[in-house]
Structure 1
Amino acid sequence: MQTSIIKTSIILFVVVTIVFSTIYTPQAILPTLKGVFHISVLEINLLLSGMLFVLMIATPFYIPISNRFGKKNIMIFCTFFLFLSVLLSSITSNFYVLLFSRFLQGVFVPGITAIMLSYVQEIYPKNHRGLGMGIYMAATSFGAVIGRLLAGWITFLYSWRIAFLVFAILLFIAFFAMIFALPVNKTELTNKRVINKDALFSFLSNIKILSVLIIPTIVFFSFMAISTFATYHLAQEPFNLDASQLGNIFLVLLLGVIISPLAGRYSDIIGRLRIIYLGIAILILGIFLTLSQSISLVIAGLGLVTMGMFSVQSVTPTYLGELVPEKKATISILYQSFFYLGGCLGTFLPSIFWEYYKYNGVTSFCIALILIGSLPLAYINFNKKKEA
């Protein structure tokens, strides 16, 4: 049993890392791609924002499909077509074909990410589920780092097409790893969970739940905005970093691997909301530091932005599950949709501020959004304590 768990854990970590790395592949090389295609920041950022928008829309549709055809089968299918779409990215010289390939990736990625959360809880024994979820969360963070880091290095040494080709090869490896190494959950066909549409609408009309769902949206919005536009900021005077150096900057995202389990653990001790508020405060402080003219302070700021984001995202799903314990599957889908909405908008809307006000405008907008978006939850909980 122990050997089987170790094998499953290793394969799970590798597969999730590879899949999540493809989401963020273009981020470190956006300035390079902008120069290659001679287009605006708003247009080139569609490689991220457009993909995340499609991902957000596609996420809810995979749950009923996986209930019918089986989680592992759907994940294998989506991994293969994700491989083909990333391969298309590597062979095109046309921006619109590249953008189309990214949209395709947005269609197939949630067929793995949206299903994997419940799949992990089903393939691990009850007393090892915490281990499984910890490995999954660590792999998502590690994948975000690898996607940016490798893309920056490979683009600097070879070309952006080779960078996409490398990730296509990794996905092909993940495809076979899924087929031959990940177990099939033998009980899932007798334990189907259906997303209740009425519950979705009732949650969206519940002010308390909606105020909590806004938090991952604004936090991931700010994280994607800062990590995206920091690359443009650092590629300019006085920093003038190249593609490989920009890729190296994203090593700070490894802090997410460390902070995620710590935030979860301490939320059990001091409360979920306190960790959420603490994460928001750290995030804002980090954004302020990225405005510095010192590269060391900018890196420290990006580190704090990472810590703040992962602190909030590690605790929010658990807090939502505690608010509606009988509808965890439904609230999980809502959480993921709001989360990716934030990522989509976070690479699109700030482009407007960048065009007119550069990096100062982006950071000011993010801080204002975080403060305004946090007010409803703070107000509700303040009144709750007052009534108590």
Structure 2
Amino acid sequence: MTYIQKGSAEYIKASLALFFGGFVTFAILYTTQPLLPIFAKEFHVSAASASLTVSASTGTLAVMMLVAASLSDRIGKKNVMMMSMLLTSILAMAMAFSPNFTSLVLARTFLGMTAAGIPSLAMAYVAEEFHPTGIGKVMGLYISGTSIGGMAGRIVTGLLTDLFSWRTALFAIGAISLLLSVIFALILPTPRHSVKKPLNGKTALQAYAVHLRNKPLMALIVLGFLFMGGFVTLYNYIGFLLSEPPYSFSQSVLGFLFIVYIFGSFSSVYMGRQADLCGHARVLSISVVLAVLGAVVTLVPSVVVKIIGLSLFTFGFFGCHSIASAWIGERAKMNKAQASSLYLLFYYLGSSLAGTAGGYFWIHFHWPGVIAFVVALLLLSYPLIGYAHKQLE
């Protein structure tokens, strides 16, 4: 068995397929984020309640990823990822016809279940199939797909909502994702390093138990909660801030704010490569500093300065995510799919729990409260990074 080597046709196909996988997952998963102020007004719910259209998806996705990892041992990683993308795209289109807020949240809950296959298995696929010396860069390419998907999904949603309606926007995102899902299925190389195993609950629990007892690895896994919790909180509520006076931005303008995700696309590849060269802990710590600085800069009233702050925050976050993902993939010596799933369990629980909790800070302390919460989450990562570095490197 050979690894996928840089420069080969397989490398190009696999990298492109994983990019599409990240693109589709994040385009659909967070497509309602710029629509939260509209949902709050149209359905007469609070900001925290509106955020459930994001949190319900990420919460169920977090739990279902544990199932997806074990299911892949039985039927194969590629098969699970293909089914995940196709079903999620179809459900995303159906979601556009939700008659009320409750049905919308329920649809988003089921969407989280179907979307679990890609994020839990893409990281494991990279760790198993690509040559170890280039894992950081390839992981960065996958994560750049998530950043561009998140950006494109939000921009298209904003534009189509202003031109037509939020329902048209959601249907269009689902249709585009369905097309990319078919391409993914056609070009992703079949895994060669993973071995199919019987679907056994006891075996699956034992696989997770190995990682849960590994304290340094768990320190890295918990980072996902802190990073994603801060990231989603900031982006959930900045739409509320900028849709109010004195800004009063339209949905199109709010959607275009997410163009700063392009910095995340660059950061995930660049910082991943730097971590390969300079060490995970050092580059990860720098990425956290950049994210904290960016969050604080958004407190300045000027729109231009806020965008600069958002850009810096996004650059730092995607660097954090890329490095932590690659570090876990390298240090998990066995059951890599389960290790990736545990990281992403905490990652998406951070999105779900912290993203909704941020509504409390928005309601009671407005934007300074949101930023204080985000910064606190990010700073809590430092003792974990230090501990993991001491034990693993």
TM-score when normalising by structure 1: 0.89
Q: What amino acid maps onto 2:44 in structure 1?
A: H
Match of 1:357 among 365, 372, 375: 365
Task: Tell whether the 8 Å contact from 2:21 to 2:85 is kept in structure 1 after alignment.
Answer: no
| 1:321 Cα deviation from its structure 2 partner | 3.9
Task: Find the residue that maps to 2:96 and give its secondary structure.
Answer: helix
In the other structure, the counterpart of 1:316 is: 324
1:338 paired to 2:346: yes
Which runs of no fewer than 5 residues in structure 2 stay unpaired?
A: 1-6
Q: Deviations over 1:309-365 (max 9, x none)?
A: 111111112333444434533322211111111111232111111111111111112
Q: Does 1:249 align with 2:257?
A: yes
Change (3 A) 1:133 1:377: closer
The reply to whether residue 227 of structure 1 matches residue 240 of structure 2 is no
Identify if the C-alpha distance between structure 1 residues 54 and 316 changes in structure 2 by more than 3 Å, giving closer, same or farther.
same
The 5-angstrom pairing of residues 117-132 of structure 1 reads: 117-120=123-126, 132=138
For residues 185 and 214 of structure 2, the distance between their equivalents in structure 1, rounded to whole angstroms, comes to 41
**Matches of 1:73 and 1:127, distance apart in 2:** 27
Aligned 8 A contact 1:208 1:377 in 2: no
Percent identity among equivalent residues?
27
Q: 2:27 aligns with which of 17, 21, 44?
A: 21
Q: Give, in whole Å, the separation in 2 of the partners of 1:281 and 1:128.
A: 25
Query: What's the CA shift string for 1:181-233, capped at 9, x where partnerless?
Result: 44434665568999753453354355433333232211111111111111111
Matches of 2:272 and 2:181 in 1, distance apart? 31
Q: Deviations over 1:89-148 (max 9, x none)?
A: 111231111111111110011122222333456666889877754432221111111121
Q: Is the 8 A contact 1:15 1:177 kept in 2?
A: no
- Aligned partner of 1:146 in structure 2 is 152
Q: Give the structure 2 partner of residue 47 of structure 1.
A: 53
**Aligned equivalent of 2:3:** none
In the superposition, relative to structure 1, how do residues 344 and 286 fare at CA in structure 2: closer, same or farther (>3 Å)?
same
Is the CA contact (8 Å cut-off) linking 2:18 and 2:142 kept in structure 1? yes
Counterpart check, 1:30 vs 2:36: yes
Separation (CA, whole Å) in 1 of partners of 2:99 and 2:192:
45
Asked whether the 8 Å contact 1:151–1:163 carries over to 2, the reply is: yes
Indicate the SS of the match to 1:263.
helix
Cα RMSD of the aligned pairs, angstroms, is 3.0
Q: CA deviation at 1:18?
A: 2.3
Correspondent of 2:79 among 31, 52, 73: 73
1:3–1:197 CA distance, 2 compared to 1 (3 A)? closer
Segment of structure 1 superposing worse, 131-140 or 190-199: 190-199
Using the TM superposition, name which of 309-318 and 63-72 deviates more: 63-72
Counterpart-to-counterpart distance in 2, 1:380 and 1:92: 45
- Residues 256-313 of structure 1: CA distance to partner in whole angstroms, max 9, x if unpaired? 1111121122223332111121111111111111111000111111111111111111
Contact 1:289 1:301 in 2 (8 A): yes
Distance 1:326 1:118, change over 3 A: closer
Distance 2:217 2:132 in 1: 28
What residue number does 1:278 align with? 286
Deviates more, 1:361-370 or 1:170-179: 170-179
Between 1:55-64 and 1:337-346, the stretch displaced more is 337-346
Contact 2:139/2:272 (<8 A) preserved: no
Task: Provide the C-alpha distance between the structure 2 equivalents of 1:184 and 1:221, rounded to a whole number of angstroms.
Answer: 34
Alpha-carbon distance in 1 for matches of 2:379, 2:185: 46
Counterpart for residue 306 of structure 1: 314
Is the CA contact 2:139–2:326 (under 8 Å) kept in the aligned structure 1? no
* Number of aligned residues: 385
Residue matched to 1:260: 268
Contact 2:295 2:309 in 1 (8 A): yes
Indicate conservation of the 8 Å contact 1:280/1:312, yes or no.
yes
- Structure 1 unaligned segments of length 5 or more: list them: none
Give the aligned partner of residue 295 of structure 1: 303
What is the distance in 1 between the residues matched to 2:392 and 2:11? 43
Amino acid at match of 2:251: A
Q: Match of 2:36, SS?
A: helix
Deviation at 1:171, TM superposition (A): 2.7
Structure 2 counterpart of 1:76, which letter? M
Q: Secondary structure at the match of 1:60?
A: helix
Cα separation, 2, equivalents of 1:190 and 1:92: 39
List aligned pairs for 1:88-127, cutoff 5 A.
88-120=94-126
SS of the residue corresponding to residue 325 of structure 1 reads: coil
Q: Is the partner of 1:247 in helix, strand or coil?
A: helix
Distance in 2 (alpha carbons) for counterparts of 1:153 and 1:89: 18
**Given residue 146 of structure 2, which amino acid in structure 1 is its aligned partner?**
T
**Taking structure 1 as reference, are residues 319 and 7 closer, same or farther at Cα in structure 2, changes over 3 Å only?**
closer
Contact 2:59 2:352 in 1 (8 A): yes
CA–CA separation in structure 1 for the residues paired with 2:242 and 2:175 = 30
- Distance change in 2, residues 1:201/1:179 (3 Å): closer
